[in-house]
Amino acid sequence: MVERPLEMRRITDGVFWAGAADWDRRLFDALIPLPNGTSYNAYVIKGSDKTALIDSVDPTKTEVLLARLSGVERLDYIVSQHSEQDHSGAIPAVMERYPDAKVVATPKGKELLSMHTSVPGERISTVADGETLELGGKTLEFLHTPWVHWPETMCTYLREDRILFSCDLFGAHLATDELEERDENLVALASKRYYAEVMMPFRAIIRKHMARFEKYRIDKIAPSHGPIHPNPAFIVKCHDDWTSDRLSNSVMIAYVSMHGSTAKMAEHLAESLTKEGVGARLFNLAATDIGEYAMALVDSATIVIGTPVVLTGAHPAVVPAVFLTNALKPKLRFASILSSYGWGGKAVEQITSMLSGLKLEMLEQVVVKGRPLDKDLAALDALAVSIAAKHKEVVG
* Binding of ligand FEO by 336 (CB under 6 A): no
Distance of CA 96 to CAs 16, 44, 66, 90, 93, Å? 21, 17, 11, 10, 5
155: CB partners within 8 A, 6+ apart: 81, 142, 143, 145, 164, 165, 166, 167, 169, 209
* Binding of ligand FEO by 88 (CB under 6 A): no
Count of residues of this chain found to bind ligand FEO when the rule CB under 6 A is applied? 8
* Binding of ligand FEO by 86 (CB under 6 A): yes
Site for ligand FEO in 66-85 (CB under 6 A): 82, 84
Q: What minimum distance in Å lies between the beta carbon of 150 and ligand FEO?
A: 6
| Strand 248-255 relative to strand 279-284, pairing | parallel
Site for ligand FEO in 349-378 (CB under 6 A): none
Please say which residue, 46 or 149, places its beta carbon nearer to ligand FEO.
149
Distance CA 348, CA 368 (A): 11
CA-based nearest residue to 242, from 191, 174, 288: 191
Residue span 300-329 as binding mask against ligand FEO, x where in contact by CB under 6 A, dash where not: ------------------------------
Distance CA 284, CA 298 (A): 18
* Binding of ligand FEO by 22 (CB under 6 A): no
Distance CA 164, CA 218 (A): 6
* Binding of ligand FEO by 149 (CB under 6 A): yes
Q: What minimum distance in Å lies between the beta carbon of 173 and ligand FEO?
A: 9
Site for ligand FEO in 208-247 (CB under 6 A): 224-225
List strands edge to edge, sheet with 132-134. Answer: 132-134, 139-144, 154-158, 163-167, 220-223
Please say which residue, 51 or 224, places its beta carbon nearer to ligand FEO.
224
Site for ligand FEO in 157-196 (CB under 6 A): 168
Please say which residue, 22 or 168, places its beta carbon nearer to ligand FEO.
168
| CB neighbourhood size of 227 (10 A) | 27
| Positions that interact with ligand FEO (CB under 6 A) | 82, 84, 86-87, 149, 168, 224-225
